């Protein structure tokens, strides 16, 4: 297992390996890590995979860092198991592992004797579900909806879509799911085609904001703004703006900033020898036109209050 | 005038016969019912203008092209070469006009291409590089004056050196018929003399040779039999001893029709 | 003589046919496109509706422009792997210039120029540095996307501009402006490739560099020129991209890279250089766009789409075999 | 006559030098690797620590195996764009077989065989269908990833197997098992390419297909064979991949595709065929792996990494110019 | 024996002079202080064994290679050709041994390569395809017997047809010196006769010609002056009228040293 005994008294030395670098979601996560590190006087290095699909590339980066004198590792694995080798190495050195955003596969972690000290998670199924419920509210009368996902087979995308399916209830029907590779232009093209195939579509669920903005654009091009609803997930700033202006109907904000920030707090707490809570839920908020202003003012931080057990531990 | 020259020996001497071979590339009729025969132990020359179809006929015999019509008989049996490999197996070695060398391979690799010497280690066959290099050195030095290093890539050789390599390759393996498409075109005086010696030696060893050449003196000097092509047809054949350079030229230009 | 009729039916030997593939492949894309259109239309009648044709043409515009640039490069036996990231960089530069208040025309010029400069860098490294095209453009692929990330700080910038909006949505009849721009580019490129000295020299450089040099053609200058053309067109593509998505993003755009090369090759241009057409790649780009459009219209599951795309691409190329 | 000494200093004309690039480029990767190691080690002394060298070698193993397969294909003037998705398919097949309880050995065999079959399909379409390599393998790239998605239903399967874990973590000294496997593959490939008839025929097919045919080599059979080799090695890579990430996933693995080709080209193998080496691509793969490792160790910011990678790749190739 | 043949006319007649030109490829010394002169309005022949360095010397003169040492003078002024374009601008046209054709371009495109005819539409220059095709047809038909279609790609031509195209190209543009590296090697009897006529006509029009050939009869028939190369050196020069075939052969083989 992992102990919380790695850090020296003066403070943790933190290495973070996160997912992609061409996506604002993870940049906000990095911002959270950096901000907390600065206020806490912790030295950090943040590394990311080349792309959100680059499982082995991410593993290589963690492996490279594993032998370095860091006391605490924050990891956001692309898949449940791709980082396990590096984690085994880290655990063997009795250093703290903080798992954020996507969970490490429990069975694999156990086999590798590398169970993380804590998991600060976004529940993507939950986020999708919130989007689904909101969609059901927006189009109370029911109808057809389509889903624009990330890369086909992507785990995060899959979880969000699953949640959406659970949330929409019986009146809505998913007529088509298209993979748009997390790319705004591809999503735009895909949504244009879907709108053509299903002229009386009532809504789109889009697996992230960047693509969501592309879908909103496609709806605008087709002159159907307002008639076809769009809900996406992430809560990046541009999406909040779009919600405010009405081109996007809602976004489920996941606050990667808070996740990153709590990750560093967990490292700090562990450096002080505290025992970390095993599972911490990161805040998720539904942003609609009503609360868009509040969300915008607070971004990248959550606008509501949320539960941060590490705050207390760090004292 | 004879349409076909009289066979000098018994009919069994005939090694290869082309019967009305035709081949078109799109609307270019490269071969139009071309027929010729050639005998064992003889040097047969094939002459004609540029573009007359000589190389195309050779490519039909050596299995690169398949004729649109007509047939090629070897030992009186119709052949059906599906690939140059079939022709090589049947004992036909060819020096192509474009030489068919692989520029990025070395001289020795080209000489032994698809005839590599191997040492067997149980089921595995490992190339015997040293043996091939040594043999290659021997083969090349019989022909070339400025002998190229057998380990240098063919890309680095001069035009004549390349031609020498191609000729060595065709002559170096036991075969029944050696076809040479303008083998001395790029060769110097000394090299040409050596190739002519080689051709005569091959004949004396019992090989049949089909020689394409634009050099009349050479054709008259070496060959036993001459065939003339014009615009895709074989317009006539002569025993070399029965004809003159002028007659052949007349056939080539069409001043004389058969 | 009667045998002649009985002989093996006319079959060219393979070496001849091999030489002809290039020729037949030139029309692979067209045949593929026609078959595809017929199939899709018969399965879903909205496929050829005005609206759908219009949106397909607009969706194809950027790919057409990139494929045209790629054609020049491939005609010289090169390859421009950096074309998509050059476009990304162009888009990001445009975004930064625009949000700094440089105004639309100047921003557009700056974007195109910076993409063109990247093309010049590619060409110069290849021609003067004598490094393989593949490695140089792979390097600039990486470098350009890095630059795009640094410049944009990894964040997209939303760009709302009435002119750009009209560019991406307006048009004449079923032809959107961006498609019209792409068509004009294609026509100009065709003239350049087949009716100018430059074009002949491009083909000569690709077909037989040593012969071209012996005839006094500066193959270096030609190499630099084609990469500059490719870079410039990537810059133009960047502006259309920004207009289309309404934002300048540091996205990887990898799909554009592979599709641009695929369009060119499907269009019958040999990767070994020396032979080019412009119509081929344009049709190739339309084919690839129509394919994705049609599959989505038919509601083919996301898991089956890649399989279908793969099979259709191979069939489109294979089809041409039964042509003669 | 005294003028001879005063004449222009020895400079070869460029057409000659051009022909020589191939030769110098063969060692580009090695020089690049050495320089890189020196630079990284002087900036961060843990770079050459046993642990780090070990993890670099393990990290390079899959890329080495893919690059070796790619080398055979590229030597025949082809290109295997499907190599990464073939690996993905192999991994998914392995995952499905394993979770259906077929046991490790059988699952591994099934995975390798299915990847090899994909290679045979590639080769057959190219050789018999006479379609350009690029288009066929682009098609199978798409088709294989589609198949992987369909088979796995888009979901990764976690595979926890003690043997696989040992494979990915154990080893002899600083050489992990997966690196040892890669090294064995490389040695066998070297013997095959330079000490067997097959290898000579591969190079002849790539260098001058018409001459090879005229000498009776069946270039078709050679084409099919090299794609089969590439597919089989992708299958082997799949098993190492599953062992490494502990799961069989339908991920795209695009990075492996570009890197495998980059390693080969950086290793001095011409994309125009006819010339090959095995050491070159292996060193190329090590170079690319060391580059990412080193940049990570130095803590180079994520945005600057692509830029740095691009510059280093170009420099590695450029460096060789100053060799002579 | 004369080391250098006496100039027949005043020194001003000398068009081109190579002075101690040397060039090595790695450790192959292709040219070792080779010197020769050639005069205006004359046909100068260059002979030697395969690999003697003839083509390499030609490539130095036509700007493809730059010599390691020595210099090339044109009209008594040292030249410094950085590229074949410079040589062509200075009035040197060459028929290379490898022909330097682009196989994927058509006959007319090859004939006008880098000498394209254009029509100007303001700042834009559009190729005048029709004019080029017409001129190409004319040019080719003077030389070839089986005239290839000027619109067909060079890839489809027979060996001799290609050579004819390359010769047409060199002869078709106004130039001071036409270099021909084995121009009739692949040509048939009739075509050879036509090329010889062409060479004589070019001379009569005042061009200087440098002719490389392995065909002695041809050299003795056409040339005014003969230079002999052996192993990278120019080992001797003769006025053709003052020498015999035997003497030349002796120089080539080294039986006679200068
Ligand atoms: N692959 C091909 N495709 C189209 N036409 C061809 C092809 N090969 C040859 N030809 C044409 O067929 C005719 C005969 O060509 P071939 O090479 O057989 O002539 P040849 O007699 O060998 O001439 P040379 O003496 O010049 O070598 C020529 O007109 C040539 O252009
Ligand atoms: N690019 C090159 N690289 C290395 N060696 C070369 C190169 N070009 C020519 N050589 C060598 O230089 C020597 C002279 O070659 P060159 O082509 O000048 O001979 P040549 O006199 O024209 O012969 P031929 O009559 O056969 O055409 C030969 O030994 C050849 O192998
Ligand atoms: Mg011929
Ligand atoms: Mg020569």
Q: Which tops the pLDDT comparison, C175 or B10?
A: C175
How crowded is residue B17: how many other Cβ atoms within 10 Å of its Cβ? 16
Distance CA A234, CA A242 (A): 13
Task: Output the DSSP codes for C119-168.
Answer: HHHHHHHHHTS---HHHHHHHHHHHHHHHHHHHHTT--EE---HHHHHHH
Inter-chain contact C213–E64, Cβ cutoff 8 Å?
A: yes
Which residue in C has a C-alpha nearest to residue D78's C-alpha? C271
Closest in B66, B70, B80 to C13, CB measured? B66
Neighbour-count burial of A138, counting CB atoms closer than 10 A to its CB (0-12 exposed, 13-18 middle, 19+ buried): middle
Shortest alpha-carbon distance between residue B152 and chain D (Å): 13
CA of A117 to the centre of ligand 3 (A): 80
| Helix, strand or coil, per DSSP, at residue A204 | strand
Question: What pLDDT is stored for residue D316 in this prediction?
Answer: 77
D-chain CB neighbours of C209 within 8 Å are 18
Instruction: Give the mean pLDDT of B146-156.
Output: 84
User: Considering every ligand atom, which ligand is closest to the CA of E191?
Assistant: 1
Q: Tell me the per-residue pLDDT of A113-141, one tens digit each, with 9 for 90 and over.
A: 889 999 998 889 999 999 999 999 999 88
Q: Write out the residue range of the structural domain in which residue B230 sits.
A: 15-101+174-253
Which chains are adjacent to chain C, needing at least 3 Cβ pairs under 8 Å?
A: A, B, D, E
Question: What pLDDT is stored for residue B12 in this prediction?
Answer: 52
Q: Which tops the pLDDT comparison, A155 or E19?
A: E19
Q: Tell me the per-residue pLDDT of D216-226, one tens digit each, with 9 for 90 and over.
A: 999 999 999 99
Distance CA B205, CA D312 (A): 63
Distance CA A37, CA A121 (A): 20
Question: What pLDDT is stored for residue D29 in this prediction?
Answer: 76
Place of tokens 């063919």: B154
The finding on whether B164 has its CB within 6 A of some atom of ligand 2 is no
Asked if the C-beta of A53 comes within 8 angstroms of chain C's C-beta atoms, the answer is no
Asked if the C-beta of E20 comes within 8 angstroms of chain D's C-beta atoms, the answer is yes
Asked if the C-beta of D321 comes within 8 angstroms of chain E's C-beta atoms, the answer is no
How many structural domains compose chain B?
1
Inter-chain contact C125–D314, Cβ cutoff 8 Å?
A: yes
Q: For B60-87, b where at least 16 C-beta lie within 10 A, e where not — what string?
A: bbbbbbbbbbbbbebeeeebebebbbeb
> What are the 10-residue block averages of pLDDT along chain C, 324 residues in total?
31 44 60 90 92 92 97 95 95 96 96 97 92 88 92 88 90 93 97 95 94 93 97 97 92 86 87 88 94 90 86 76 42
Q: Tell me the per-residue pLDDT of D43-76, one tens digit each, with 9 for 90 and over.
A: 988 899 888 898 899 889 999 999 999 999 999 9
User: Considering every ligand atom, which ligand is closest to the CA of E107?
Assistant: 1
Question: What pLDDT is stored for residue E5 in this prediction?
Answer: 47
CATH code of residue B70: 3.40.50.300
Instruction: Give the mean pLDDT of B222-226.
Output: 94
Q: Whose CA is nearest to atom 19 of ligand 2?
A: E51
Question: What pLDDT is stored for residue B258 in this prediction?
Answer: 65
> In this model, does residue D20 exceed pLDDT 70?
no
Which residue in C has a C-alpha nearest to residue E87's C-alpha? C216
Percentage with pLDDT > 90 across chain D: 56
Atom of ligand 1 lying closest to residue B26 CA? 4
Q: Which residues of chain A have pLDDT under 70?
A: 1-11, 21-22, 315
Nearest partner of A148 among A71, A52, A49, A215, judged by Cα: A215
**Is residue B154 one of the residues assigned to a domain?**
no
The finding on whether E53 has its CB within 6 A of some atom of ligand 2 is yes
Contact criterion met (CB below 8 Å) for A102 and A77: yes
Q: Tell me the per-residue pLDDT of B88-113, one tens digit each, with 9 for 90 and over.
A: 999 999 999 888 999 999 999 999 99
Phi/psi region, residue A41 (left: phi>0; alpha: psi -120 to 50; beta: rest), is: left
D-chain CB neighbours of E65 within 8 Å are 12-13, 15-16
Distance CA A213, CA A179 (A): 15
Find the helix or strand (DSSP H, E) in which A230 lies: strand A229-234
The finding on whether E30 has its CB within 6 A of some atom of ligand 2 is yes
Strands (E), A92-225: 96-101, 118-121, 143-149, 172-179, 201-206
Asked if the C-beta of B48 comes within 8 angstroms of chain E's C-beta atoms, the answer is yes
**Is residue B113 one of the residues assigned to a domain?**
no
Highest mean pLDDT out of B183-192, C189-198, D273-282: C189-198
**Is residue C17 one of the residues assigned to a domain?**
no
Protein residues near ligand 3, an ion, with CB under 5 A: B 55, 97; E 159
Distance CA A20, CA A25 (A): 9
C107 to each of B222, C72, E44, E165, how far by Cα in Å? Answer: 78, 26, 63, 51
Complex ipTM, two decimals? Answer: 0.85
How many structural domains compose chain C?
1
Beta-bridge partner residues of E14:
E39
B-chain CB neighbours of E98 within 8 Å are 159
Distance CA A181, CA E42 (A): 73
Q: What is the mean pLDDT of chain E?
A: 88
Q: Which tops the pLDDT comparison, C234 or D153?
A: C234
Candidates B56, B62, B67, B183: which one to mutate for ligand 1, based on the most atoms within 8 Å of Cβ? B56
Q: Tell me the per-residue pLDDT of B84-93, one tens digit each, with 9 for 90 and over.
A: 989 999 999 9
**Is residue C84 one of the residues assigned to a domain?**
yes
**Is residue B124 one of the residues assigned to a domain?**
no
Distance CA D77, CA D203 (A): 9
Is residue D297 very low, low, confident or very high in pLDDT (cuts 50, 70, 90)? confident
Which residue in C has a C-alpha nearest to residue B71's C-alpha? C7
Shortest alpha-carbon distance between residue C10 and chain B (Å): 4
Distance CA D111, CA D98 (A): 10
Shortest alpha-carbon distance between residue B236 and chain C (Å): 17
The finding on whether E213 has its CB within 6 A of some atom of ligand 2 is no
Inter-chain contact E84–C214, Cβ cutoff 8 Å?
A: yes
Q: Write out the residue range of the structural domain in which residue D173 sits.
A: 48-320
Inter-chain contact C156–A186, Cβ cutoff 8 Å?
A: no
Write out chain B in H/E/C secondary structure: CCCCCCCCCCHHHEEEEEEEEEEEECCEEEEEEEEEEEECCCEEEEEECCCCCHHHHHHHHCCCCCCCEEEEEECCEECCCCCHHHHHHCCEEEECCCCCCCCCCEHHHHHCCCCCCEEEECCEEEECHHHHHHHHHHHHHCCCCCCCCCCCEHHHCCHHHHHHHHHHHHHCCCCCEEEEECCCCCCCHHHHHHHHHHHHHHHHCCCEEEEECCCHHHHHHHCCEEEEEECCEEEEEEEHHHCCHHHHHHHHHCCCCC
Q: Which tops the pLDDT comparison, A149 or E186?
A: A149
Q: What is the pTM of this model?
A: 0.87
Residue B233: phi and psi, rounded to 5, are -110, 155
Inter-chain contact C197–E85, Cβ cutoff 8 Å?
A: no
Shortest alpha-carbon distance between residue D273 and chain E (Å): 19
- Looking at A266-280, B10-24, E48-62, E117-131, which range is the least confident one? B10-24
Residue pairs spanning A and C at CB distance below 8 A: 90
**Is residue D193 one of the residues assigned to a domain?**
yes
**Is residue E119 one of the residues assigned to a domain?**
no
**Is residue D154 one of the residues assigned to a domain?**
yes
Closest in C4, C11, C13 to B20, CB measured? C4
> In this model, does residue B194 exceed pLDDT 90?
no
Asked if the C-beta of D163 comes within 8 angstroms of chain C's C-beta atoms, the answer is no
Which chains are adjacent to chain E, needing at least 3 Cβ pairs under 8 Å?
A: B, C, D
Inter-chain contact D245–A158, Cβ cutoff 8 Å?
A: no
Place of tokens 């992609």: A20
Q: Whose CA is nearest to atom 18 of ligand 2?
A: E53
Question: What pLDDT is stored for residue E108 in this prediction?
Answer: 95
Protein residues near ligand 4, an ion, with CB under 5 A: B 159; E 55, 97
Closest in B25, B33, B71 to C16, CB measured? B25
Instruction: Give the mean pLDDT of E31-42.
Output: 93
Which residue in B has a C-alpha nearest to residue D195's C-alpha? B127
**Is residue C151 one of the residues assigned to a domain?**
yes
């Amino acid at each position: 297992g992992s102990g919380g005994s790695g850090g020296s008294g003066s403070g943790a030395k933190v290495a973070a390996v996160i997912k992609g670098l061409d996506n604002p979601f993870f940049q906000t996560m990095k911002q959270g890590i950096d901000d907390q590190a600065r206020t806490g006087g912790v030295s950090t290095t943040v590394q990311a995979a080349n792309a959100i699909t680059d499982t082995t590339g991410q593993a290589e980066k963690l492996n490279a860092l594993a032998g370095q004198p860091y006391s605490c590792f924050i990891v956001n694995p692309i898949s449940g198991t791709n980082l396990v080798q590096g984690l085994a190495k880290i655990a063997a050195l009795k250093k703290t592992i903080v798992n954020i955003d996507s969970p490490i596969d429990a069975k694999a972690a156990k086999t590798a004797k590398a169970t993380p000290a804590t998991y600060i998670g976004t529940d993507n199924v939950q986020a999708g579900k919130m989007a689904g419920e909101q969609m059901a509210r927006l189009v109370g009368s029911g109808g057809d909806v389509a889903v624009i996902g990330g890369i086909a087979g992507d785990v995060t995308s899959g979880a969000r879509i699953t949640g959406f399916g659970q949330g929409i209830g019986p009146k809505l029907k998913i007529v088509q799911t298209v993979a748009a590779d997390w790319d705004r232009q591809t999503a735009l093209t895909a949504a244009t085609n879907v709108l053509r195939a299903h002229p009386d579509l009532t809504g789109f669920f889009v697996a992230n904001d960047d693509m969501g903005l592309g879908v909103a654009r496609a709806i605008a091009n087709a002159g159907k703004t307002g008639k076809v609803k769009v809900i996406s997930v992430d809560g990046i700033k541009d999406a909040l703006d779009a919600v405010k202006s009405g081109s996007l109907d809602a976004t489920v904000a996941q606050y990667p900033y808070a996740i990153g920030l709590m990750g560093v707090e967990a490292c700090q707490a562990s450096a002080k020898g505290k025992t970390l809570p095993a599972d911490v839920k990161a805040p998720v908020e539904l942003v609609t036109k009503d609360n868009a202003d509040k969300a915008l003012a607070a971004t990248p931080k959550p606008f509501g209050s949320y539960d941060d057990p590490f705050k207390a531990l760090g004292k | 005038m004879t349409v076909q020259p009289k066979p000098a020996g018994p009919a069994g001497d005939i090694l290869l016969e082309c019967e009305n071979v035709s081949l078109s590339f799109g609307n270019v009729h490269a071969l139009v019912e071309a027929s010729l025969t050639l005998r064992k132990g003889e040097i047969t020359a094939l002459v004609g203008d540029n573009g007359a179809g000589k190389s195309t006929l050779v490519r039909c015999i050596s299995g690169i092209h398949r004729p649109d019509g007509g047939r090629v008989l070897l030992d009186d049996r119709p052949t059906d070469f599906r690939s140059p490999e079939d022709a090589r197996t049947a004992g036909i070695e060819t020096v192509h006009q474009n030489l068919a060398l692989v520029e990025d391979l070395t001289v020795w690799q080209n000489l032994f291409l698809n005839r590599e010497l191997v040492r067997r280690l149980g089921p595995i066959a490992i190339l015997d590089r040293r043996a091939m290099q040594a043999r290659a050195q021997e083969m090349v030095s019989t022909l070339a004056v400025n002998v190229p290093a057998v380990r240098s890539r063919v890309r680095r050789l001069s035009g004549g050196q390349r031609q020498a390599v191609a000729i060595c390759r065709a002559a170096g393996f036991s075969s029944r018929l050696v076809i040479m498409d303008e083998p001395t075109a790029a060769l110097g005086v000394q090299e040409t003399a050596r190739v002519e010696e080689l051709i005569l030696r091959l004949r004396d060893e019992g090989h049949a040779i089909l020689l394409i050449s634009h050099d009349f003196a050479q054709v008259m000097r070496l060959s036993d039999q001459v065939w003339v092509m014009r615009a895709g047809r074989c317009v006539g054949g002569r025993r070399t001893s029965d004809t003159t350079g002028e007659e052949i030229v007349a056939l080539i230009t069409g001043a004389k029709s058969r | 003589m009667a045998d002649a009729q009985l002989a093996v039916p006319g079959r060219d030997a393979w070496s001849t046919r091999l030489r002809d593939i290039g020729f037949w492949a030139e029309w692979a894309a067209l045949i593929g496109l026609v078959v595809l259109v017929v199939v899709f239309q018969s399965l879903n009648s909205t496929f050829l509706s005005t609206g759908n044709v219009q949106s397909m043409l607009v969706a194809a515009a950027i790919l057409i422009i990139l494929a045209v640039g790629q054609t020049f490069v491939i005609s010289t036996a090169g390859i421009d792997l950096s074309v998509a990231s050059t476009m990304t960089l162009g888009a990001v530069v445009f975004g930064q210039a625009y949000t700094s208040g440089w105004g639309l025309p100047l921003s557009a010029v700056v974007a195109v120029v910076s993409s063109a400069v990247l093309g010049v860098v590619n060409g110069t490294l290849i021609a003067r540095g004598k490094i393989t095209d593949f490695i140089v453009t792979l390097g600039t692929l990486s470098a350009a996307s890095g630059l795009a990330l640094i410049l944009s700080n990894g964040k997209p910038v939303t760009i709302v501009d009435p002119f750009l909006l009209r560019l991406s949505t307006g048009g004449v009849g079923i032809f959107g402006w961006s498609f019209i721009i792409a068509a004009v580019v294609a026509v100009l490129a065709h003239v350049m490739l087949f009716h100018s000295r430059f074009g002949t020299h491009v083909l000569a450089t690709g077909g037989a560099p040593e012969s071209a040099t012996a005839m006094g053609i500066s193959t270096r200058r030609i190499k630099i020129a084609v990469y500059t053309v490719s870079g410039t067109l990537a810059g133009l593509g960047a502006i259309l991209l920004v207009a289309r998505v309404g934002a300048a993003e540091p996205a990887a755009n990898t799909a554009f890279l592979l599709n641009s090369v695929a369009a060119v090759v499907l269009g019958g241009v040999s990767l070994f250089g020396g032979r080019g057409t412009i119509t081929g790649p344009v049709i190739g780009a339309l084919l690839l766009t129509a394919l994705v459009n049609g599959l989505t219209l038919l509601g083919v599951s996301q898991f089956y789409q890649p399989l279908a795309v793969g099979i259709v691409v191979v069939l489109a190329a294979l089809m041409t075999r039964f042509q003669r």
